[in-house]
Amino acid sequence: MAAIAFRGVEYECRESETVLDALLRQGVALPHSCRVGQCLTCVLRGLDGLVPPEAQAPLRETLRRQGYFLACCCRPQSPLTVSLPDEGAIYARARVLENEPLAPLVWRLRLQPAEPIDYSAGQFINVRRADGLSRSYSLASVPGQDAALEVHVKRHTGGAMSTWISDDLKPGAEVDFQGPNGACFYVPGRPEQPLLLVGNGTGLAPLYGIARAALAVGHSGPIHLYHGSRHAEGLYLRDELVAMATAHANFHYTPCLSGSPDISGCRPQRAEAAAFADHADLGGWRLFLCGCPPMVTGAQRQAYLAGVDLADIHADSFTLRELRTEPRP
């Protein structure tokens, strides 16, 4: 058992318990969401003691050097003194320019950062409400092409952040955000390489950014985007994507419906099923997979079996908050 000192109080951390689980169990309210090292909302700073390297691995070098780590990935072997992150090092301020529905359950939120940020299409930011609630949203905007940061937010019934964004957040309001984060983004180069983009729900957001970024730098290889939804109203941005396919001979858009009757122009199956049926041999391709975790995990495995080099598989799984209050067994 290791001790964790936080704000002058000492807390126990049980054998193989994470710092996040230990502090939550003892009544400390810490921002967190995915609990699996993905969303980066649980960043803390180590002031004294040894932080295991795996708790720092997902963070950028500048933050690692300052002692920042992810509380949900940190199982300390010896006493640790930790603090909340330094606001200026982690968070930036943005003003809401626009917040409008794109579809019955999807909101397009456009944010104007106080200072320009350096990001790549497909990365994600963490939006933070004034009370500390923080959630990850992938960027649909393209640097150099879109003046504002754009995210697409699915409204979850009972979801703390998504219902606040859809119901309460108005243009002119200010929010804090952290990022950019994540490694699921388009890197210019190998312009003839075929790209396969597969997403469901708001997993379209980063793919929309990635496709536009690739086209903007003259990617000449085929770019196939498959977007899946259970219901027709979830296939948002259809007109824009059809227009992109008309404007660029190498861009192909396939909307897929898995839970509705056949609708003209849509494949009656899941996006990943349609993508792998159309492209059985993916040797030499680059893949981007975004959306709900079971789709992303299954498609990663299938892509590897279809011949994609592991280094060419880029994925962002939209892991929801762990609602369990007890630590994982």
Ligand X SMILES: Cc1cc2nc3c(=O)[nH]c(=O)nc-3n(C[C@H](O)[C@H](O)[C@H](O)COP(=O)(O)OP(=O)(O)OC[C@H]3O[C@@H](n4cnc5c(N)ncnc54)[C@H](O)[C@@H]3O)c2cc1C
Interface contacts to ligand X, rule CB under 6 A: 33-34, 38-39, 124, 135-138, 151-154, 156-162, 182, 202, 205, 316, 318-321, 323
Q: Which is nearer to ligand X, 61 or 167 (CB)?
A: 167
- Output 32 or 270, the one with its CB closest to ligand FES: 32
Pick from ligand X, ligand FES, none: which does 41 bind, CB < 5 to 8 A by kind? ligand FES
Nearer to ligand X, 185 or 276 (CB): 185
- Given ligand X, ligand FES, none, residue 162, with its beta carbon under 5 to 8 Å by kind, binds ligand X
Site residues for ligand FES, 51-70, by CB under 6 A, read 70
Q: How near is the Cβ of 78 to ligand FES at its closest, in Å? A: 21
**84 versus 160: smaller Cβ distance to ligand X:** 160
Stretch that binds ligand FES, among 7-15, 38-46, 211-219, 266-274 (CB under 6 A): 38-46
DSSP designation for 20: H
Q: Give dist(CA 245, CA 266) in Å, integer.
A: 15
Q: How far is the CB of 199 from ligand FES (least distance, A)?
A: 20
d(CA 239, CA 57): 40
Q: Nearer to ligand X by C-beta: 158 or 329? A: 158
CB of residue 83 to ligand FES, shortest distance in Å? 16
DSSP readout, 197-223? EEEEGGGHHHHHHHHHHHHHTT--S-E
CB 121 within 8 A of CB 213: yes
Quote the CA–CA distance of 41 and 320 in Å, as a whole number: 12
**Near ligand FES by CB under 6 A: residue from 38, 141, 178, 202:** 38
User: Number of residues in contact with ligand FES, rule: CB under 6 A?
Assistant: 12
Report which residue's Cβ sits closest to ligand X. 159
40 binds, among ligand X, ligand FES, none (CB under 5 to 8 A by kind): ligand FES
Question: Cβ-count burial of 167 within 10 angstroms (0-12 exposed, 13-18 middle, 19+ buried)?
Answer: exposed
Q: Tell which residue, 198, 209, 211, has the closest CA to residue 296.
A: 198
- Taking a C-beta distance cutoff of 8 angstroms, is the pair 317, 293 a contact? yes
35 binds, among ligand FES, ligand X, none (CB under 5 to 8 A by kind): ligand FES
Q: How far is the CB of 175 from ligand FES (least distance, A)?
A: 18
The full DSSP string for 241-306 is HHHHHHH-TTEEEEEEESSS---TTSBSS-HHHHHHHH-S--TT-EEEEEESHHHHHHHHHHHHHT
Q: Which does 134 bind (CB under 5 to 8 A by kind): ligand FES, ligand X, none?
A: none
Candidates 13, 22, 24, 33; binder of ligand FES (CB under 6 A) is 33
Q: Considering only 33-41, 101-109, 264-272, 282-290, which stretch makes contact with ligand FES by CB under 6 A?
A: 33-41
Q: Residue 117, SS3?
A: coil
Do the Cβ atoms of 12 and 28 come closer than 8 Å? no
Nearer to ligand X, 8 or 158 (CB): 158
3-state helix, strand, coil in the chain (%, to 5): 25, 30, 45
> What is the C-alpha to C-alpha distance for residues 101 and 247, in angstroms, rounded to an integer?
26
